[in-house]
Amino acid sequence: MNIYDIACLAGVSTATVSRVLNHSGRVSEASRKKVEEVIAREGYIPNAFAHNLNTKKSRTIGIICPVISDPNHAYPVAELSKLLRANGFEILLISTVSNDDSKRPYFVSLINRQVDAAILIGCNCSRQEQEDFVYAAKHVPVFVLNGKVEGPNIYCTLCDEKSAAEQVVKKFTEAGYQRVLYLYDSETYSGEMKLAGYKEGMRKYSQAEPLVVQVQDELSSFYKTLDTVRDMIGQVEFDAILTADDSLAIGAVKALGEAGRRDVPAVGFNNTILSRCATPELSSVDNRMKQQCALTVQTLLSVLQGEKAPACVTLDAQLIERGPLQKQLERKQSEKNGVL
């Protein structure tokens, strides 16, 4: 069943059917009624390929997302999906296997499929990645969520996680915690920013040296962190913990709990559901993913309409305080004052 059949059955030309289908051009009420009736009766569904081949638009957005089973990635995909679909776009999803395989073949797939734009959930900072983005941007506008890449036709939305990390360290040190341990897993742009913020914070506010440990696991860094922190307790001195992601913080808090070290405050990142599920609840830095998604889609729509758009927008992050954090800080504070 194609447009010829419909035209035939409705007693009009394919041009008229096309006009009805696309609400383009003027069609008499009579013709429209007739055509619509035939379409409904026959259950005709037009072929998007043929349409796209003509219009050179696919109304499809490619999303490249590292391992979508990670809730940190699934959330923005859900959000983007909702927003894009509301604007008439479909989504071609590429869930990459790891965070650092070359993006080139993924971009090629998307270009081959004629997506109108590509959105990336995060990015790493490699030279290779940068090149791949620039390459892709020659074919199609590229939007980066929670990551930064510079180049023509590349647009970024991110969150000032660097300052946020720095502020958490400041908060810790002001209460009297000096040896803040930083745990992270993957080496994304966002990850680098947090790490930089942590280091900056330590440099500015702490008398101790930065103490950084990378925990990485095929499965989920949660397990690895649990083991790592278990091993560290008693071996390495630290009195507060900041992690690049909630799942790490939860592993750490679990290990601390086992060892009876409830005095050690921990702050995670991304404010995921995990931080609420944990016992005790976890404080976490919210990277405002929802707003990032909204901004990205807004920018995307502008760009597709040929309007100018800012190459980079940065939002503020926000520390969400939960569980024992406040009490821990107060206690430490009063200890410190008592000692003085």
Partner DNA sequence: TTGAAAGCGCTACCAG
Partner DNA sequence: CTGGTAGCGCTTTCAA
Positions in the binding site for DNA (CB under 7 A): 2-4, 11-19, 21-22, 24-28, 30-31, 46-47, 50-51, 53-56
**CA dist list (Å): 296 to 93, 104, 145, 301:** 16, 22, 7, 9
- State the burial class of residue 86 (Cβ atoms within 10 Å of its Cβ: 0-12, 13-18, 19+): exposed
Question: Does 315 help bind a second copy (rule: CB under 8 A)?
Answer: no
Please tell me the distance from the alpha carbon of residue 329 to that of residue 58, in angstroms, as a whole number. Answer: 54
94 near a second copy, judged by CB under 8 A: yes
Single out the residue of 199, 261, 276, 331 in contact with a second copy (rule: CB under 8 A). Answer: 276
Kindly state the number of chain residues that form the binding site for a second copy, as judged by CB under 8 A. Answer: 53
What is the residue type of 318? Q
291 binds, among DNA, a second copy, none (CB under 5 to 8 A by kind): none
Q: Is 326 in the site for a second copy (CB under 8 A)?
A: no
C-alpha to C-alpha distance for 293 and 308, rounded to whole angstroms: 19
CA atoms within 13 Å, Cβ hemisphere of 144: 33
Three-class DSSP category at 295: helix
Query: Binding partner of residue 69 among a second copy, DNA, none, CB under 5 to 8 Å per kind?
Result: a second copy
Distance CA 164, CA 60 (A): 35
Phi, psi at 152, each rounded to 5°: -65, 140
- Backbone angles phi and psi of 121, in degrees to 5: -85, 100
Compute the C-alpha angle 172/170/250, nearest 5°.
Answer: 45
Cβ proximity to a second copy, 209 vs 258, nearer residue: 258
- Which of 13, 14, 114, 291: binder of a second copy (CB under 8 A)? 114
Q: Which of a second copy, DNA, none has residue 277 at its interface (CB below 5 to 8 Å by kind)? A: a second copy
What is the smallest separation between the CB atom of 168 and a second copy, expressed in angstroms? 21
- C-beta separation of 79 from 85 below 8 A: no
Which of DNA, a second copy, none sits in contact with 153, Cβ below 5 to 8 A by type?
none
Minimum CB distance to a second copy, residue 58 (Å): 7
**CA 110, CA 116: separation in Å to the nearest integer?**
9
Residue 233 interacts with a second copy (CB under 8 A): yes or no: no
Is 49 a binding residue for a second copy by CB under 8 A? The answer is yes
Query: What residue ranges bind a second copy (CB under 8 A)?
Result: 45-50, 52-53, 58, 60, 63, 67-71, 73-75, 77-79, 81-82, 85, 90-95, 97, 108-109, 111-114, 139, 220, 222-223, 247, 250-251, 254, 257, 273-274, 276-279
